[in-house]
Structures are given as structure tokens and as C-alpha cells.
Amino acid sequence: MLLLLSVILAVTLMPGSQKAPSDKAIFTFYKEPHGTWYIDLPDYPGPKGDLAMVAGADDMLDYLARGEKRVKVEMSEAPFNGALEMVRVKKDEPGSGAYYKPVNHHIQSVWLCDVTLYALGKFPEKIYFRAVE
């Protein structure tokens, strides 16, 4: 997603920011008419294409959005009420992202690109998340 596992940025997290694992962040994701999901990070310094949600993250957003074209997703490294869980299964070389396995979910794999480092500051071992709108 998880994002996943694409989010209006309610909390801006800059790379390297010090954040407690129990802190929650809310991101907004939107789906364009051609079907691609994007995370809404207006201050992201790279090209829009970097913000595309692909390789399972798009499927997770379809699930969370329940047919809508926009969804806000709350995320944390610590469990919280109503949250789904993704566990990191593989972290590639820098520039190659990380793979996560959603726990107890039909989606088998979610790849998160290095924009995750911009948004969360790292690739957490676990990501807990839920749709909040």
C-alpha cells in the first residue's frame, strides 16, 4: 500500500524525521480517470510518476477505497484499532523499494517504492493501516 499499501497529506513527514513508532500519519491517495493511483505529496521534489502506486499497492487502495476515487489512509508502525497489517518481506538495494506481505488478506504482495522513504523516513518492518474516509 501499503502503502501501502497513494494519500491529502494530513501529516508531512520529511526524510529522516524522528517519529515514534506509535505515531500515526494520514495520507491521501487519488485515482486518476485512466486508473492509476497516486499519493498526494504536493511538496515531493521528484516527478509525478514517482508517486504512482503500482505492484499491489494499487490493489490495496482499490480495496480500501471501496469504489471511490479518493481515500485517506492512516498508517503507523504500531498496531491500532481497526488496522490491517503488512510485514516487510524483502528490502531491495537503495532505489529499488521494498516488498510487503499483507497479513490475513487476499492480496499477496505490495511493493512500495523509495517515495516511502520520503513519506515515512524508512521502510518499517511492519506497517499498520486503515482507511479513515
Above 50 in pLDDT, residue 25? yes
The three-state secondary structure class of 66 is coil
pLDDT tens-digit map of 63-107: 899 999 999 999 888 899 888 899 998 876 666 788 899 898 888
* Residue 2 per-residue DSSP state: B
Burial 54-93 (b: 16+ CB within 10 A, else e): eebbbbbbbbbbeeeebbbbbbbbeeeeebbbbebeeeee
Name the more confident of 37 and 108. 37
Q: Where are the domains of the chain?
A: 24-131
Task: Please give the mean pLDDT across all residues of the chain.
Answer: 78
Q: Are 53 and 70 a contacting pair, CB within 8 Å?
A: no
Name the pTM for this structure. Answer: 0.74
Residue 22 has what pLDDT? 57
Above 60 in pLDDT, residue 10? no
